[in-house]
Chains A and B, each alone.
Chain A
């Protein structure tokens, strides 16, 4: 069980960390007894993983997030259960970390308790987002995040999309961009994310990395 117990998802604002964290937690819960999702997003006040609490509870994933009235607060409130979760060696953990270096400072607070032997750090990239369309932009954000968290990024997560308007070509071209970024930075891609709506329209044999199917949980109020 090397580098697999604690899975940290980080990235720039709006890269897709939260949806991926939720889906990853649900997938782990299908194979493991004790899965905990730590919502470390102290930056973004809307569309946080704590909002998908119900499907996660049904799958027996424990969501570690500020409780009660603090759910809607824009406060850097970190519940003490986070430390307990890190130290519970029988559990699998997913960290959903807030955007950019500001969000990552919260992760840095737990650095001393995170054992690199059992921890992997994943940097989620959507090349269709501002600032992370090329290796220079990605490098700048990764440097900030590594500095704030005092952890090294192990993998890139390729998440090319345009939200509800994603077309097959956006996935193919975006992933190509990611492969170039990966090569230039020398950081491997862990998997390519494709939404449930798009998965049947894409020829999966085209890709040399594993594909991760994403079910979207965050919805606009008119959807």
Chain B
């Protein structure tokens, strides 16, 4: 077999998790991410110590993740939009108990049952309103199958380093499309030892995994501790890509599949003399505020493109901080913006 394998995004994320030594998967099926648990079901039982379990519901699955993570296992669950909403309570518990876990959301159109075609309308949920309480997920947004592989492997390291849940978020296209990928060993070798896990307190003090703090003084201190952790994450983990920004007068801000469509649009627009570049957030939390704020000193305006009615655009406006106008173009409900539509928007923005 050649070095590269042709894989669907969903399969590639599953294989990347296995290569990152994740042997435990708990989930519940939902389109368009089914190839991910299906791949895990085919592979994990053949691995020594591997467990694939289809739970009776999303709520059960996320609490199995809580248990496995508390016992020190590298563990993953995956779902699509409505299923992630069901997992929200458990995710808050995992964040509260400071457990490392990787959660994959292959986003479909919403709200409610919505549809099964690709969308980016879970941005608010992933970065701000996942569930109750003061907590954050680290949110990684690949725009190719290879990047989905690399970010999934890294997600486990980030989760372990900060004892925090990490979400890999892709729209349905990222999950469904096929691209050649390779699996490079990029595992960190400086991760803290897991001396807090509940693996049987033989010969040591017992460890407790819990998110209940009835004393408000304790709970406040816990929240500030989490807050310091998120500030540390903001300092260390921001990832983004820029393209054609050197002489850009307009900056497109887009992530995931939309960023790839924007790249095609940028080529077409530049052929027509429009000086446009791309800022692509790879981490949605922490958001690449600084590069966007700096770009605001250079460009005349911004165009945020999303498969939603406008979610990330709010973070772009906060980052730009009023220096320049930030316009928005979106398709939603499973509709995908075309390069031609984006070029049209660029012409309007340029005026």
Contacts and interface: CB of A to CB of B under 8 A. Distances in A.
B248 to A, nearest CB: 19
Contacts of B236: none
A177 B1 CA distance: 8
Prevailing SS type, chain A contact patch: loop
A162 B38 CA distance: 22
A163 B180 contact: yes
Given A74-B31, A222-B339, A165 B4 contact: yes
B336 A131 contact: no
B11 interface: yes
Given A128-B1, A165-B180, A222-B261, A45 B6 contact: no
Given A221-B257, A221-B338, A47 B5 contact: no
A47 B179 CA distance: 14
Interface string B15-43: 10000000000000001100100110010
Contacts of B5: 128-130
Prevailing SS type, chain B contact patch: mixed
B1 A45 contact: no
Interface string A50-89: 0000000000000000000000111000000000000000
Contacts, number: 85
Contacts of B35: 13
Given A130-B7, A130-B15, A46 B32 contact: yes
A93 B293 CA distance: 59
A220 B2 CA distance: 24
A131 B6 contact: no
Contacts of A127: 1
Contact of B6 (A44, A163, A173, A220): A163
Interface stretch (B54-62, B126-134, B170-178, B284-292): B170-178
B234 interface: no
Nearest to A177: B1
B298 to A, nearest CB: 26
Contacts of A108: none
A161 interface: yes
A162 B6 contact: yes
Interface residues on A, range: 20 to 34
A162 B4 contact: yes
A14 B38 CA distance: 14
Contacts of B42: 131
A133 interface: yes
B114 to A, nearest CB: 11
A122 interface: no
A14 B173 contact: no
Contacts of A163: 6, 178-180
Contacts of A222: 257, 260-261, 263-264, 339
B192 to A, nearest CB: 33
Contacts of B63: none
Given A14-B8, A128-B2, A163-B6, 20 more contacts: A45-B31, A45-B176, A46-B172, A72-B117, A72-B334, A128-B1, A128-B6, A129-B5, A129-B7, A130-B11, A131-B42, A162-B180, A163-B179, A163-B180, A174-B2, A221-B257, A221-B261, A222-B263, A222-B264, A222-B339
6 contacts: A45-B32, A46-B173, A128-B2, A130-B39, A162-B4, A163-B179
